[in-house]
Structure 1
Amino acid sequence: MSAVGAGRSGRAWRTLAADFRKVCEESNAPCWMCGQSIHYEAGPDEPDAFNVDHFYPVSTHPELGNDPANLRPSHRACNIARGNGDAPLGLGELSEDW
């Protein structure tokens, strides 16, 4: 398969994205960037709607466009805000309130 368009178009992508969404929705997976709940019933243009995010952006890693291990559940707004930038750093939970 050609890397051109991988991860954003074509039958393979549509099938992969639909299967990924189903798994995420069944487990009620939160947004991997902000950790908040995703509104799986929201329309596709709503900020808190489900969106498939590529951990390694397709623009810089086209060979990973259709790799299921490169996919992450996200909010539409979080995915748009990130663009093709670096993945957010997970700093973890505070051990106590300071």
Structure 2
Amino acid sequence: MVAGRDTRRWRKLKVQFRARSAEANHPCWLCGQPIDYDLPRDHPEAFQPDHLHPVSTHPEHAEDPANLRPSHATCNKARGNRAPLFGLGRQTRQW
């Protein structure tokens, strides 16, 4: 069993976090793009909770709701357990 990924508490927390994120229409914290919360979970752009502090390096935060961030499945997988890389954003014509 992996902490934070295979417990009853984790499954309940994940459902609650998804509901709160969808209600607030939170974008992906990694890329800043909108998340379609209605996509099936096996879709690459589907919602997936991401741990700010990865479970592999911080198992004590595995089931801490404050450690969760909304993300796309592809963004979450691409990040892995590395620190997030935030871009500077998109250039605008005014810039």
- State the TM-score, normalized to the length of structure 2: 0.89
CA contact (8 A) 2:49 2:68 kept: yes
Which deviations, in whole Å up to 9, do the C-alpha atoms of 1:66-92 show, x marking residues without a partner? Answer: 011100000001001111111223646
The 3-state SS of whatever aligns with 1:41 is coil
The answer to whether the Cα contact below 8 Å between 2:31 and 2:86 also exists between their aligned partners in 1 is no
- Distance (Å, rounded) in 2 between the aligned partners of 1:68 and 1:86: 19
Unaligned runs of at least 5 residues, structure 1: none
Distance in 2, matches of 1:75 and 1:22, equals 15
Does the alignment pair 1:23 with 2:23? no
Q: Which residue of 1 aligns with 2:60?
A: 63
What amino acid sits opposite 1:73 in the alignment? P
Q: Which amino acid aligns with 1:19?
A: Q
Q: How many residues align?
A: 94
* Matched residue SS, 1:85: coil
Residue of structure 2 equivalent to 1:43: 40
TM-score when normalising by structure 1: 0.86
- Residue segments in structure 2 that go unaligned for 5+ positions in a row: none
User: CA RMSD for the aligned pairs?
Assistant: 1.8
Identity over the aligned pairs, expressed in percent? Answer: 53
One-letter identity of the residue aligned with 2:71? S
Give the whole-Å Cα distance in 1 for the aligned partners of 2:90 and 2:78.
Answer: 23
CA distance in 2, matches of 1:89, 1:40: 22
